[in-house]
Chains A and B, each alone.
Chain A
Amino acid sequence: MKPPPFSYHRPESLPQTLDFLATLDDPKILAGGQSLMPMMNFRYVMPANIIDINRVAELSTVEETGGALRIGAMARQRDLELSDLVQRRCPLLHEALLNVGHVQTRNRGTIGGSLSHLDPAAEMPAVLHAHDATLHAASKRGTRDIAMADWSQGFMTPNLEPDEILTAITIPCWPEGHGYGFVEFARRHGDFAMAGAAVLLTLDAGGKIDRASVALTGVDNGPVRLPETEAALSGQTPSPDLFESAAAHASSVPGIEDVHATKEYRRKLAVVMTKRALGQALDRAQAGGA
């Protein structure tokens, strides 16, 4: 239960970090450590070199620019949770963060870490997928933008080259007063979700659904959008029956089979979580996003 030997490096800047990534053998980035350290303590992951980026200040900024939130990869989950800006402009992220681990882990855990580690049950990838976010990566060779839809390349494998690091995320904001809902099912609060749904919703002047975005977590290697659900909702008058039939499409997700739940159970959960999140989002949209 102790990490194996490694060489430790602590860059003070992004250029220094990129240098390390390009030149060190078998490097692994240490950010919040809430996912990497357990794997190292178990010796599942045994990197030769650890690059501790906790002193790289330029990766922690959170700002609004051109109708989008630009969040640095090292922004701590707890800081995002408490951020007034995030709560106002991306309330779905705020809502989802309340389900991420516990205060003790959110104090250290980062949004970049969650995205790069890409646990199948992680909340933030689903939120970003619902928002059609863009991820920004950098290496000594330059920078690269990756659409959230292209981020997951398989089980815990993000679209990052070995010499690249995620530096920031751009989240397009939905209009003021938009509806949002986040519901996940776990055995205990803070446990890994068996399935979770992230929903964004806007209504038109006549109360019909103008735009809907639905993303699930816990049911596949990466977050899953539900285009059929979204299409079924678009332009329709919201009602329990509508949500019932729209959410039914969630049962077609691949599902994950493990000791906590079968594929079948996860598919059932996916439908229920989608319905509940849709309900939450509708309530908020009708209340003007309160």
Chain B
Amino acid sequence: MAERLEITLTVNGESVTREVPVRLTLADFLRHELELTGTHLGCEHGVCGACTILLDGKTARSCLLLAVQTDGMSVDTVEGMADNGALTPLQQAFIDNHGLQCGFCTPGMLATLTELLDTIPDPSEQEVREWLSGNICRCTGYQGIVDAALDAAKALRGESPAGA
């Protein structure tokens, strides 16, 4: 029926309208149409987690979504996290705990941990590791990422100043 469709969605808080091919994935829509290249493509079949974004507040693989499916929905990517350059406690915790090296997996990690901390404000290390099982990192060995998550959780609970 349709080879191209017009879609309107909210991306990082701003309304966006575009006409797109129906087979365009959300990941490619973000990267090519909107030039938000923070969302990365590692495997394009849902296992690496680098393309993870938040769709209506819940994590999802953008490589496994068609852009046209997100019509009327809201998408949050890494570009929308910092507030005018001011890093979130989670982002700051990544810096403080050496939670990234090449940074390729980082946007996906941040999306996943955002949902984790929204869901479980006081996660155990085991819970953090389980939540992160869907995001692969080749550089860090994960320890720095886990430390960052626990650090950020503390900061968000107000138990320590962010960036301490």
Q: Are A and B close enough to touch in the complex, i.e. CB under 8 Å?
A: yes
Selected from A33, A103, A108, A188, the residue in CB contact (under 8 A) with B131 is A103
Knowing A103-B131, A103-B134, A104-B61, the reply to whether A7 touches B44 (Cβ < 8 A) is: no
Name the CB-closest residue of B to A32: B64
- Does A260 sit within 8 A of B, measured CB to CB? no
Interface residues in A26-53 (C-beta closer than 8 Å to B): 30, 33-34, 37-38, 41-42, 50, 52
Question: Which among A3, A54, A104 has the greatest number of chain B C-beta atoms within 10 A?
Answer: A104
A8:B1 contact, CB within 8 angstroms: yes
Which residues of chain A come closer than 8 Å to B23, judged between CB atoms?
A: 2-6, 8
Interface residues in B108-147 (C-beta closer than 8 Å to A): 112, 115, 130-131, 133-134
B60:A104 contact, CB within 8 angstroms: yes
Which residues of chain B come closer than 8 Å to A34, judged between CB atoms?
A: 46, 61, 64
Name the CB-closest residue of B to A37: B64
Chain B interface size band reads 20 to 34
Q: Is the interface of A mostly helix, strand, loop or mixed?
A: loop
| Chain B 39-74: CB-based contact to A (< 8 A → 1; otherwise 0) | 001001110010010010011110111101100000
A93 to chain B, nearest CB (A): 19
Question: Which among A2, A7, A8 has the greatest number of chain B C-beta atoms within 10 A?
Answer: A8
Beyond A7-B3, A8-B68, A37-B64: 6 further Cβ-contacts under 8 Å? Answer: A4-B23, A8-B2, A8-B22, A30-B66, A52-B66, A189-B130
**Which residues of A are at the interface with B, using a C-beta cutoff of 8 A?**
1-10, 30, 33-34, 37-38, 41-42, 50, 52, 54, 78, 101-105, 107-108, 188-190
